[in-house]
Amino acid sequence: MALYRVADHRLEAVLATTFTEERILERRDLQRLLRSDMSPLGEDLLVVAEEFSDWQDSSRRIDLLCLDRQARLVVVEIKRTEDGGHMELQALRYAAMVSSMTLEQVIAARARVLSGDGVRAQAEAEILDFLGWETVDEDELTDEVRIVLVAANFSTEITTSVLWLNKRGLDIVCVRLQPYRLAGELLIDAAQIIPLPEAADYEVKVREQAKETQKVRTVRQDTLRRFWTTFIERSRAQTTLFANRSTTSDHWLSAGIGKAGFNLNVSLTEDRARAECWISIGKDAVRSEAAFRALEMQLQPIEAAFGRPLDWQDLPGRTGCRISCDIPGGWRTPESDWAVLQQSMIDAVSRLHAALRGPIQSLGG
């Protein structure tokens, strides 16, 4: 697809170039740039390691090993070529090789790329913060590994293979990086070509439905899915917060409060339920804490509106802060008692929304 600029009321084609002509290399340039900012790939990924090769009897290296918000490993392979070579086969090998990695191994891999004292603790804190988990014992990585292929373009052989593999339950994304030259500057157009963005949600739903029919959920996942199904239905008669949410097997359910960086969550662990406002503004710990402190200055009227004291947690070392209240119960609560627990959670999150919405909207920035 051509790129144009508007010049004197006419369209003027921007000169397409190649990474070879621009002397842009895979590892030195493209890999480094993506490592520092993964947004061209269209999603929020945490880079665990670069040139990852933590296995025996192999000299193969993953360009970027990442983690997504659903606790899935993501293999990112990068080529500067116009056809992608045989990168899909290479990435499949890598995905198989890391598929058995545990959370502890991922933390260790992340720690190896950090510097300074306390790198193990820092790596653990970063990963838990990214996943929204409180402890390493809260959950484990899924056994699914996603693949992201990045190249200047892709051959028909690759696109055909990827489409076929995705129909059979794999999750592979192709992102094309096309370089252009304009007024002495190098521009890069990043476009996801598989799956097409407008069809991505549909393809994910189809893939997930297929997996659900083939895979027996664990007791915890099955319990959480059933709990959130009835929770959402019960909440719709009382609040619009979760009206458009779908059920999930995650331990939490999230809703907006009308301002970026602030989310209302209800969550379940084995023996504890919680309603909370999670504050994380652009992953910036300073801005998040400043907003938290501004709200904390209004503690008395907020708690009066809520109806009882709240737990104000600034969470040092993490990029977010929390205002919450705990609720007796958890996902091991007998199903016969779910109605009472769910009602308590709905009441708490509704009151939290009413108490915090005004003060949050009044914050600057």
C-alpha–C-alpha distance, residues 241 and 324, integer Å: 17
Neighbours of 228 (CB within 10 A): 25
- Domain match, 201 and 321 both: no
**Which residues, 6+ apart, have CB-to-CB distance to 5 below 8 Å?**
11, 12, 14, 182
**How far lies 277's CA from each of 44, 75, 179, 280, 315, in Å?**
21, 32, 42, 10, 13
- Domain match, 260 and 155 both: no
- Domain match, 173 and 279 both: no
- Whether residue 199 is contained in a domain is answered as yes
- Whether residue 62 is contained in a domain is answered as yes
Residue 163 belongs to domain spanning? 4-101+141-212
- Asked whether 311 and 322 are in contact (CB, 8 A), the reply is yes
Number of domains in the chain: 2
Q: What is the mean pLDDT of the chain?
A: 87
Query: What is the reported pTM?
Result: 0.59
Least confident segment among 125-134, 322-331, 351-360: 125-134
- Domain match, 263 and 301 both: yes
pLDDT at 209: 61
CATH number of the domain at 315, please.
Answer: 3.30.1460
pLDDT at 201: 61
Once rounded to an integer, what is the mean pLDDT over residues 108-113? 91
- Domain match, 145 and 198 both: yes
Q: Is 337 helix (H, G, I), strand (E, B) or coil?
A: helix
- Domain match, 255 and 206 both: no
C-alpha–C-alpha distance, residues 22 and 184, integer Å: 12
Highest mean pLDDT among 11-20, 89-98, 296-305: 296-305
- Whether residue 129 is contained in a domain is answered as no
Residue that finishes a domain, picked among 194, 212, 230: 212
Once rounded to an integer, what is the mean pLDDT over residues 302-314? 96
pLDDT tens digits for range 332-357? 999 999 999 999 999 999 999 999 99
178-200: burial string, b at 16+ Cβ within 10 Å, e else: bbbeeeeeeebeeebbbbeeeee
- Pairing relationship of beta strands 185-194 and 62-67 according to DSSP bridges: unpaired
- Cα-atom radius of gyration of the chain, to the nearest Å? 23
Using 50, 70 and 90 to split pLDDT, how confident is the model at 253? very high
Using 50, 70 and 90 to split pLDDT, how confident is the model at 279? very high
Which candidate, 287, 286, 279, places its Cα nearest to that of 323? 279
- Asked whether 356 and 291 are in contact (CB, 8 A), the reply is no
Higher pLDDT, 9 or 350: 350
- Domain match, 247 and 324 both: yes
Q: Read off the amino acid at residue 61.
A: R
Residue 284 has pLDDT above 90, yes or no: no
- Whether residue 133 is contained in a domain is answered as no
pLDDT at 220: 82
- Domain match, 288 and 234 both: yes
pLDDT tens digits for range 181-227? 888 888 888 888 888 765 556 566 655 665 554 443 577 888 999 99
C-alpha–C-alpha distance, residues 21 and 192, integer Å: 23
pLDDT at 106: 93
- Domain match, 41 and 161 both: yes
C-alpha–C-alpha distance, residues 226 and 248, integer Å: 8
- Domain match, 65 and 148 both: yes
- Domain match, 71 and 166 both: yes
Using 50, 70 and 90 to split pLDDT, how confident is the model at 18? confident
pLDDT at 168: 84
- Whether residue 273 is contained in a domain is answered as yes
Least confident segment among 24-33, 88-97, 144-153, 310-319: 24-33
C-alpha–C-alpha distance, residues 313 and 318, integer Å: 11
C-alpha–C-alpha distance, residues 283 and 320, integer Å: 7
Q: Which phi and psi (to 5°) does residue 184 adopt?
A: 80, 0
What whole-number percentage of the chain has pLDDT above 90? 48
Which candidate, 84, 213, 72, 211, places its Cα nearest to that of 143? 72
- Whether residue 51 is contained in a domain is answered as yes
Token pair, residue 278, equals 């999670």
Q: Read off the amino acid at residue 22.
A: E
Residue that finishes a domain, picked among 212, 231, 251: 212
pLDDT at 365: 63
- Domain match, 239 and 205 both: no
- Whether residue 136 is contained in a domain is answered as no
